[in-house]
Amino acid sequence: MFTKYLIVFLVSMVPLMELRLAVPMAVGMGLDYWISLVVCVIGNMLPVPVIYLFARKVLVWGAGKKRVGKFFRFFLDKGEKAGQKLMAKAGRGGLFVALLLFVGIPIPGTGAWTGTLAASFLNMGIKSTAGAVSLGVVMAGIIMGVGSHTALHVFGL
């Protein structure tokens, strides 16, 4: 049982997969939903301070490198575009709610990693970023849990 929780914990830390894959995995494995949600939220939030403090600097550094520049530039552009999109929709005053919804509505490319990177480009502040992202991650986890349980019961998956 511990191994299954460890798997969903680790999956929830991986960019692009995050909690959006880990919660359905937990439901599919028959794990307790509420325990899984807590495990996945912790796993998804663990990288947030590191992303906020260092990812932008690493991406800027790597974007200028000959062999890996395209890879780093892709993520740098993704973070910049996400930040611009948030700012355009919310303005400076509504950034907290915009970031919460950006992370909380589980569509591809809008998870904690991208949201945190976007917030770092907007110099939103670590406390505001962590608050908005954590609430968004919980929201996404609940949505994914409801969707996974519904699919499991309705379609017999």
Task: Kindly report, residue by residue over 22-44, the tens digit of the pLDDT.
Answer: 999 999 999 999 999 999 999 99
Residue 99 CA to chain centroid, in angstroms?
11
Those residues of the chain that have pLDDT short of 70 are 92, 156-157
Q: Which residues contact 148 (CB under 8 A, 6 or more apart)?
A: 23, 24, 27, 28
Whole-number pLDDT of residue 157:
59
Helices of type H across the chain:
2-13, 18-28, 33-45, 48-50, 56-63, 69-90, 95-104, 112-121, 126-154
Q: Which of 15, 17, 30, 142 is nearest to 74 (CA)?
A: 15
SS3 40: helix
What is the structure's pLDDT at 62? 92
